[in-house]
Structure 1
């Protein structure tokens, strides 16, 4: 197929790898820039406190929610006091969006959400509601039930693993783009790139699974507990679309990299043209200064057709005569060899 075919064979997985890297970068950039409307829509989880600020929760409603959540460690009056404290705190935002590196907070005006600020990106970030809301952990543990501290402990540990998985996926995918350049020249390069691509796919898949499962559980478990305060918990859509597109692109790139290890060698088919004849057999070239029978390839002048040379290097044919007398008794003579064949 040649070098041109090799480049065409590498082009598809190369583009897929770049697409996967772009999706991972979008996941990492979510909730990092308050002035970007595109990046503001990339979040794993949103805590909506807009109903909390309006004071729509009544005592009877709080009692019903406590019974539904099976929380007996706190009374409805204590919950009402906590809600009033949140309402009086001007630092409490209408909603909080949780990303990979940090979170953003914003206000809702006339049904329109606007981000006011975002935290500085931090490695191995996890959202701590007690520090954000200005409430002690003991109070949250008491008001949200016995399961809340267990959930937060698991969430903190899994968040660190999720961050590491996304970081390794990003590094492996970027390395895959660089290593993919050598895949243009040989199948060995494709083999090395395939190994890097497998690592990239596995960590991208692990990170996507971790984030999806973890925040889905958080929505189900925390949603019912925080509903007592009028807090709604919602999952983001765009960031999950980006992370799973990264998985799809990474898987497709890995398959095509594997395909390039056994196809599209990059060697020109014309490099062996002189060694093979048109029927695919091997034609032995005649080296200079070698012996060959004079009549092996062509019959002597005047020989009747068809002419079929005998096996070996001896050829029998009627010998020329001088008059009526034969030159030898057997009317045969041995094949003559020219001493040297000149190139």
Structure 2
């Protein structure tokens, strides 16, 4: 397979790698621009506070049993009610908050339609601290929080930091993979190096996607049911999770095809180079019923080897009718192969 075949072999994983990069970029652009409806629909989780109330729809006993079911033993229903009562009185709260990779956005809800009004400034290793976002750090509201709140926030901060780093490494590795893809056209060594970065990009893309999915799924399952009784609803964004898992699928497919390009699709021509140096030996097989001239010492079948006699002296040491300029095999007999 020549250069044209090599280019065709590299084209598929190259396109898949670009598709994976585009999906990762969409994940990173979520919740970064309030004026873009497309980017506003890219969020990991939305916290809806429109119908917040301090009086839960369930009894105190039911709420406490629900908290114990999820292992939250140092929180009482009264603690939750007191905290939400102070939040309800805060007029600066937005109707909803959306959490992205670099920051968050907030806005209002009217006629069941969300309208993003503001997005935070992008920040590396971002994590959503509700009391910091709502400006309640200096308030005595934290006195109502359980003792395990700080521990939970530390875990959430550490996991969010790892998730951000994983997405960043996946983004950089994918770009390097695209750059090295040019060199993969020239040789299998280029494909080998590209495959290494393709593996790195796939591992970190998958790790980031798994972390984000598990993290916000736990939040929704553990806190969503409890807070729903107080008019707070949690929902996970479908678009951003579709983008991140599409990035994983494209990255995996690209890795498979890059690996295939290492083993196959050589860029060398089997017919030789410009100096006519063939890379593969071509042997011509003789077809049946062909004729070839007899070599030295060969005679037709059924004939005896003639005896060698010296030329007669009368002709000056030469046989008559002999032309020395004629081809040596002009009248040579042929044999059947």
- TM-score normalised per structure 2: 0.78
Q: Distance in 2 between matches of 1:17 and 1:274?
A: 34
**Structure 1's 307 and 92: CA in aligned 2 closer, same or farther, altered over 3 A?**
farther
Q: CA RMSD in A?
A: 3.0
**1:58 to 2:55 alignment:** yes
What is the aligned partner in structure 2 of residue 165 from structure 1?
A: 166
Q: CA deviation digits over 1:247-289, x for unaligned, max 9?
A: 1111111111110011111111110179533249xxxxxxxxx
Task: Say whether the 8 Å CA contact 1:46–1:236 is kept in structure 2.
Answer: yes
Where does residue 99 of structure 2 map in the other structure?
Answer: 98
Query: What displacement does 1:85 show?
Result: 3.3
- Structure 1 portions without partners, runs of 5+: 281-295, 309-315, 324-343
* SS of residue paired to 1:233: strand
The question of 1:178 aligning with 2:194 is answered: no
Asked if 1:319 is matched to 2:307, the reply is yes
| C-alpha distance after superposition, 1:277-311 (max 9, x if no partner) | 3249xxxxxxxxxxxxxxx963579x863499xxx
How many residues are aligned here?
296
Equivalent pair of 1:205/1:247 in contact (CA under 8 Å): yes
Match of 1:333 in 2: none
Cα distance in 2 between the residues matched to 1:215 and 1:23: 19
Q: Contact 2:67–2:75 at 8 Å: present in 1 too?
A: no
* Cα distance in 1, alignment partners of residues 65 and 144 from structure 2: 13
Q: Describe the superposition over 1:119-140 as per-residue Cα deviations: whole angstroms up to 9, x where unpaired.
A: 0100000000111233349966
Q: CA deviation at 1:215?
A: 1.1
**Does the residue aligned with 1:21 lie in a helix, a strand or coil?**
helix
Residue in structure 2 matched with residue 312 of structure 1 by the alignment: none
User: What does the per-residue CA deviation read over 1:203-226, in whole Å, with 9 as the maximum and x for residues that have no partner?
Assistant: 111111111111111222232443
Residue equivalent to 2:27: 27
Output one character per residue of 1:24-64: Cα deviation in whole Å (capped at 9) or x when no partner: 00000011011111111111111111111xx4x53664634
Q: 1:279 to 1:146 in 2, by over 3 A?
A: farther
- Alignment CA distance shift 1:222-1:58 (3 Å): closer
Tell me how far apart the structure 1 counterparts of residues 239 and 263 of structure 2 sit (CA, whole Å): 37
CA distance in 2, matches of 1:72, 1:274: 77
* Partner Cα separation in structure 2 for residue 133 and residue 62 of structure 1: 28
Structure 1 residue 241, shift from structure 2 partner: 0.8
5 Å-filtered alignment, 1:262-301, equals: 262-271=263-272, 272=278, 276-279=282-285, 298-299=294-295
Separation in structure 1 between the aligned mates of residue 136 and residue 279 of structure 2, nearest angstrom: 81
Do residues 42 (structure 1) and 42 (structure 2) align? yes
Structure 2 residue 179 is the aligned partner of structure 1 residue 191: no
Change (3 A) 1:112 1:307: farther
Given that residues 74 and 147 in structure 2 are in contact (C-alpha distance below 8 angstroms), is that contact kept between their aligned partners in structure 1?
Answer: no
Aligned position for 2:117: 116
Give TM-score, length-normalised by structure 1.
0.77
CA distance in 1, matches of 2:57, 2:87: 19
Structure 1 CA distance for aligned equivalents of residues 194 and 296 of structure 2? 63
